[in-house]
Structures are given as C-alpha cells and as structure tokens.
Chain A
Amino acid sequence: MPLLAVVALAAFTFAFRIAGPVLRGRVNIPPDAERLLATAAAVLLVALAATSALTTGHDFAGWARPAGVLAAAALAVRRVPFPIVVLAAAVVTALLRLGGVH
C-alpha cells in the first residue's frame, strides 16, 4: 500500500471528522439521510466481514476461518463481551486448523 494512499485516507477521514463540529448549527442533516448513512456503514462492515470470512483473493478461504467467525457471531448476538467474541474467533479457527480442518 503506497504512502500516498495512507495520506489520502487520513485526509478523507479527518475531513469527515472535522465537518461535524464546523458545520454544527449551520446545516441540518435530514434524519432520513442520517439513517441512510448509518445503514450504509453497517452494509459495508458486514459485506467486508462476509467477504473476508469466506474468501481469500478470488477463492474460497476454506472452512476453518468462516467457522471461527460464525462462532464469534453467535456469541456477539448473545451480547458476550467484545474481547471474548474476538478471541473465540481466533481460538475456534486455530483449533480447527490444529485438527487438520483448513
């Protein structure tokens, strides 16, 4: 990843961050637009989670990784604390690979 890409992402990110405080009192974001942005963020996060759980490059990633992610998702739905959710993903995947499932 080139340095310029890091700088560009940092610039975009800071622009979004500073826009709120600067624009406060001058614009009203319609509630519908705000909801759409929130849903868009969730769509991106889950799409990224799904592709990175199931694929490596253009191919299937194997069973161990999605199994670990699925276990973590089940815990997250039950509102298990975040550190345990993340560790569960790693432990389940590592154990499956140790057992020969890839």
Chain B
Amino acid sequence: MRMPWRTTTRPGRELRRDVALVCLADGIVGVSFGATAVAGGQPGWLPVLMSLVVFAGGAQFAALGVVLAGGSPVAAVAAGALLNTRLLPYGLGVADVTTGRWWTRLLGAHLTTDETVAFALRQQKPAARRTAFWTCGIALFSAWNVAVLLGVLAGSAVKNTGAFGLDATFPAVLLALALPALTDMRSRAAVGAGAVTAVALTPVLPAGLPVLAALSGLAAVWRPRRSGVAPAPRDEVTAGGKR
C-alpha cells in the first residue's frame, strides 16, 4: 500500500484517518485476543496485563496460542520472543524519532511496533516522522488495551465464542501481517516450507514446538550470496562496526 503522504509536523487529516483505520483493525484483533484468552480458560487479568507490558499482538497471540494448545510456558515465551526479534532492526530504523529525555526514549521503545514503524518510515522529514510515530503509537496503545479489555468482558459474557467465528480471526490477522513481507520467491519458499513442516509436525510434537520447527524452512532456502560483496571485505566491515 503506497500512499502519497504529506510531510507535516502536525497530525494531518490523512495521518489521523489512517491511524484511526489501523486502530480499528487492531481493535478488532484486540477484542479477539481478550475473548480468546478467557474463552480458553485464562483469568481475565492475564490478557489485560500482557497487552500493557508486552504490547505486541503477534507475540501475544503466539504465546497464548502455545499455552492454549497445551504447550509449556517456556515454549510460549520462546515463540513470542522469537517473533519479536524483528523489533531490533525496527528500533535501529526509527532510533532518530525516539530521541530526547530518558523517559521518552523508554516510552518510544515500548511503542515500537509494526504499525508505528511503518507510519514513521513513510515520512521523509524527521519532524514528520516523529509526528507519525508518536501519533500512531499513543493512539494504538490506547486502542489496543481498551479493545483487549472489551474482549475480556465480551468473552466472559458470551459462552460460545466459536459460533461467532472468533477463532478464525487469529490466523487471518497473522496472514495479513505476514503477506506484505513475501515479496520475493526466496521468502515465499521459506514460508511455504515452514508452514508445511509446522502443520505436519503438529500431531506428533508437543504444542509450541511445531511453530519453532518451521524455522527450518529458512535453512531450505538460505544460501550465502556468492555474487556482489566478497566474503572477506564484508567480514572486515562487520568486525569494524562492532568496535
């Protein structure tokens, strides 16, 4: 989705509209998360606390999914944490917008998500990047946590959430999140191999492990690049960068 974003230092109408759309979309996911958790027998405070302190929908769903499928807490944390390794390069990408006092840097780090980074990186000028990041971040944090709370209340009130097809929203959300990254054949092959591996292993492996086993799909397609940068100079660059 490429949009002709205007670079502005105040949240313009387009920015407000698009942030509202993202909040609405994630709100639906949040309701689904809260309702799924309590429908699966988790206490109501758990999804609420998790959403406040983890604030990463994919990882929250991953960890919850492992636990609800009967997996161990360690496997749940591993799946969620692995999914969130992508936040490291994100943080490098938006480090210029989360500057300032120590508490704004900590808060900015906590608001680093797929959505806020996408909004920030669409802007060219630093001031506009900051505006986009913080507008999206604060709105999304509020919307997400309110939605999860509503989901907990709804999930507690409605006994048969399956009748509303809520269980289908989770995989749909994950697919919609992953699709934009699948631009080249290599990543598609890795993703396809991983998904087949995970589904094939689900009947036999303990819950939580099949999803981690999907990472073997990476090995199937990963080859060090032969053309372009020669290995030796690249090693030097890496070593120099670490110092």
Please list the residues of chain A having a beta carbon within 8 angstroms of any beta carbon in chain B.
1-10, 12-14, 16-21, 23-24, 26-30, 32, 34, 36-59, 61, 64-65, 68-69, 72-73, 76-77, 79, 81-83, 85-95, 97-98
Cβ contact within 8 Å between A1 and B64: yes
**CB nearest to A8 among chain B residues:** B77
How far is it, in angstroms, between the C-alpha of A39 and the C-alpha of B170 when the chains are bound? 20
In the complex, what distance in Å separates the CA atom of A86 from the CA atom of B13? 25
Interface centre among A8, A29, A88, by most chain B C-beta atoms within 10 angstroms, is A8
Add 4 more A-B contacts to A5-B73, A52-B167 (CB < 8 A). A9-B50, A18-B109, A42-B187, A77-B179
Which 7 A-B residue pairings sit nearest by Cβ, starting from the closest? A20-B91, A93-B165, A47-B214, A89-B172, A68-B168, A94-B165, A72-B172
> Using a Cβ–Cβ cut-off of 8 Å, how many residues does chain B contribute to the interface with A?
103
Check A29–B203 contact: CB distance below 8 A: no
Q: Shortest distance in angstroms between A27's beta carbon and chain B's nearest beta carbon?
A: 5
A97 & B54 in contact (Cβ 8 Å cutoff): no
Question: A-contacting residues of B (Cβ < 8 Å)?
Answer: 1, 21-22, 24-25, 28-29, 32, 42, 46, 49-50, 53-56, 58-59, 61-65, 67, 69-70, 73-74, 76-77, 79-95, 98-99, 105-106, 108-110, 112, 162-179, 181-182, 186-187, 190-191, 194-199, 202-204, 207, 210-211, 214-215, 217-218, 222, 224-225, 234, 237-238, 241-242
Q: What residues of chain B lie closer than 8 Å to A44, measured between beta carbons?
A: 62, 79, 82-83, 194, 211, 214-215
**30 contacting pairs across A/B (C-beta < 8 A):** A4-B73, A8-B81, A12-B80, A14-B110, A17-B90, A18-B109, A20-B94, A21-B95, A27-B242, A37-B86, A38-B86, A41-B85, A41-B181, A42-B191, A43-B215, A43-B218, A45-B178, A46-B191, A46-B195, A47-B191, A48-B65, A48-B211, A50-B196, A52-B65, A58-B204, A65-B167, A76-B172, A83-B28, A90-B169, A93-B167
